[in-house]
């Protein structure tokens, strides 16, 4: 059985205690490999490697750091097919998605931050009348921790690592234990690109052991975490007395608000994607669909028809729209919400059942599911399901939908469909979310701030925001 290893100080090594975890293939439910069940001793070794690399890496010129990051990006592009196959096998996502989104975006992350670091600047303040000037140094923090989830494995892993190392830090990183494979392959690429030993160290294992060891390590001064809100709360609690710098990108339950004056076809096509892309396992998915009453019945008919046409199938088939969910426990969790919907007397308009894909009977497949709710206050409309399940309901007025959109604990993103400019401005100002998309969804420009409010997290990633997070501002005041 194939075993992957930790990547520490530029070498691939087994976990010290020789403990391993089975890695499942969601498409067929079979164990296809093992990953290190790393302990805090493995994390300590990763920390020691990172600490030793820091003095040289933090003094490496920006041009040289940039050159290495862009080289990593190019090597990812050169190995697109292999990485995409590994991602699809590990996660269950359609290979077409891994080829068109996940791996290209991972490459873009390195290219973007390789370029961004050469443009990163800090402020200076002339203290007029006091014969003094202040300037701000933006210094790397030291050793930082990056912890990522399973839904967009390499995409989100590199979204943290790239700015961290671009800014001159050394990293101890942990991908999700559910989807470790592309993070493992990244180590080889980093060596090939000439990233110095110890700048990036990748430890595999469970959140509660190796993840926890990173979070509580007294000398890992900043933690960039993406994952569930419950884990974010735990991390915030345990790190508070240690005064760590924290970036928390957490769960979402995003509204998709559709007004009658929208471009209907564009809205319908995009709403299919924003509901079910990656089996609905994207924190940005618009899982609560609110439709203006005058077009509600038309939307319901057209949307359900299109959802029924989506093909649930093996991730490696090129015409598969919906692959497998990431794991058995996750499939069971998502299905439990379909039962909850029935208990809440909501109407399951389509889907709701497991799908048996011939030849892969033990895979974790689920029909895309549309639930019509009569109140926004039911659990399926309030709690993050994180699967191919959306709710739909009608609204009467702008005020009414704004109130419902904001009445959840989360605040990651919101999508608006309208051609009314004044309404766009009013709603964008008042929606409680870190990201608003108008007449589009998940259109990304890596320079923009990315993150949520309320239970969707603290802090912003993206562009210079990420470089600011991974540096400490130090003011120098010189009197002349």
Closest C-alpha to 182, from 114, 103, 95:
103
- Tell me: does residue 147 bind ligand NAD (CB under 6 A): yes
The CA-atom distances, in angstroms, between 39 and each of 212, 215, 479 are: 10, 13, 51
β-strands 453-454, 410-411 pairing: antiparallel
When CB distances to ligand NAD are compared, the closest residue is 207
Among residues 15, 104, 251, 411, the one that binds ligand NAD under rule CB under 6 A: 251
Indicate left, alpha or beta for 312 from its phi (over 0: left) and psi (-120 to 50: alpha): beta
Among residues 249, 292, 376, 465, the one that binds ligand NAD under rule CB under 6 A: 249
Using N-to-C axis directions, what is the helix angle for 153-166 and 103-119, rounded to 10°?
20
Backbone angles phi, psi at 114, to 5 degrees: -60, -40
Stretch that binds ligand NAD, among 3-11, 95-103, 148-156, 390-398 (CB under 6 A): 148-156
Among residues 6, 91, 169, 212, the one that binds ligand NAD under rule CB under 6 A: 212
- Tell me: does residue 363 bind ligand NAD (CB under 6 A): no
CB of 479 to ligand NAD, least distance (A): 44
Stretch that binds ligand NAD, among 42-50, 88-96, 143-151, 264-272 (CB under 6 A): 143-151
From the list 85, 87, 177, 249, the catalytic residue is: 249
Nearer Cβ to ligand NAD (75/390): 390
Residues near ligand NAD (CB under 6 A), total: 31
Closest C-alpha to 407, from 434, 372, 431:
431
Closest C-alpha to 26, from 457, 327, 423, 336:
327
Say how far apart CA 183 and CA 42 lie, in whole Å. 17
Nearer Cβ to ligand NAD (145/168): 145
Stretch that binds ligand NAD, among 51-59, 91-99, 211-219, 441-449 (CB under 6 A): 211-219
Task: Determine whether 283 is an active site residue.
Answer: yes
Using N-to-C axis directions, what is the helix angle for 80-91 and 181-193, rounded to 10°?
160
Nearer Cβ to ligand NAD (351/457): 457
- Tell me: does residue 387 bind ligand NAD (CB under 6 A): no
Nearer Cβ to ligand NAD (146/291): 146
Tell me how crowded residue 329 is: count the other CB atoms within 10 A of its CB.
Answer: 11
CB of 452 to ligand NAD, least distance (A): 6
Say how far apart CA 406 and CA 143 lie, in whole Å. 38
Instruction: Give CA 419 to chain center in angstroms.
Output: 30
Nearer Cβ to ligand NAD (168/232): 232
Q: Are 389 and 336 in contact (CB under 8 A)?
A: no
Residues designated as active site: 249, 283
Which residues of this chain interact with ligand NAD, rule CB under 6 A? 147-151, 156, 174, 176-177, 207-208, 211-212, 215, 226-228, 231, 234-235, 249-252, 283, 384, 386, 412, 452, 456-457
């Amino acid at each position: 059985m194939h075993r992957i290893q930790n990547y520490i100080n530029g070498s691939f090594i087994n976990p010290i205690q020789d403990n391993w975890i089975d890695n499942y293939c969601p498409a067929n439910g079979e164990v296809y490999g093992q990953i290190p069940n790393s302990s805090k001793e493995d994390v300590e070794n990763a920390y020691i490697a990172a600490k030793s690399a820091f003095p040289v890496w933090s003094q490496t010129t920006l041009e040289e750091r940039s050159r290495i990051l862009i080289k990593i990006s190019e090597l990812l592009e050169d190995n697109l097919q292999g990485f995409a196959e590994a991602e699809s096998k590990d996660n269950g996502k359609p290979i077409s998605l891994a080829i068109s989104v996940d791996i290209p975006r991972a490459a873009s992350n390195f290219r973007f931050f390789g370029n961004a670091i050469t443009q990163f600047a800090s402020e200076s303040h002339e203290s007029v009348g006091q014969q003094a000037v202040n300037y701000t140094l933006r210094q790397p923090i030291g050793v930082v921790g990056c912890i990522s989830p399973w839904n967009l494995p390499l995409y989100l892993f590199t979204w943290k690592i790239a700015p961290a190392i671009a800014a001159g830090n050394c990293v101890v990183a942990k991908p999700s234990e559910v989807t470790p494979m592309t993070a493992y392959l990244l180590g080889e690429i980093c060596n090939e690109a000439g990233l110095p030993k110890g700048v990036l160290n990748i430890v595999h294992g469970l959140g509660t052991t190796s993840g926890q060891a990173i979070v509580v390590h007294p000398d890992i001064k900043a933690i960039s975490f993406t994952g569930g809100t419950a884990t974010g709360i735990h991390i915030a609690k345990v790190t508070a007395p240690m005064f760590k710098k924290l970036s928390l990108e957490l769960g979402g339950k995003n509204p998709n608000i559709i007004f009658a004056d929208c471009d209907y076809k564009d809205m319908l096509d995009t709403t299919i994607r924003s509901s079910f892309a990656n089996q609905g396992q994207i924190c940005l998915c618009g899982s609560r669909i609110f439709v203006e009453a005058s077009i509600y019945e038309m939307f319901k008919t057209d949307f359900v028809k299109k959802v029924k046409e989506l093909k649930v199938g093996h991730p490696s088939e090129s015409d598969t729209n919906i692959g497998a969910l990431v794991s058995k426990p996750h499939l069971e969790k998502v299905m439990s919400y379909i039962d909850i919907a029935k208990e809440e007397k909501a109407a399951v308009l389509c889907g709701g059942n497991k799908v048996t894909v011939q030849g892969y009977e033990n895979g974790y497949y689920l029909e895309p599911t549309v639930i019509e709710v009569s109140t926004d206050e039911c659990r399926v409309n309030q709690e993050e399901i994180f699967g191919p399940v959306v709710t739909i309901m009608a609204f009467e007025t702008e005020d009414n939908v704004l109130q419902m959109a904001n009445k959840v604990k989360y605040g990651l993103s919101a999508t608006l469909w309208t051609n009314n400019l004044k309404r766009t401005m009013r709603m964008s100002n008042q929606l409680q979310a870190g990201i608003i998309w108008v007449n589009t969804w998940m259109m990304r420009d890596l320079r923009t701030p990315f993150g949520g409010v309320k239970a969707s997290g603290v802090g912003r990633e993206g562009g210079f925001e990420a470089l600011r997070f991974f540096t400490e501002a130090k003011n120098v005041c010189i009197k002349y």
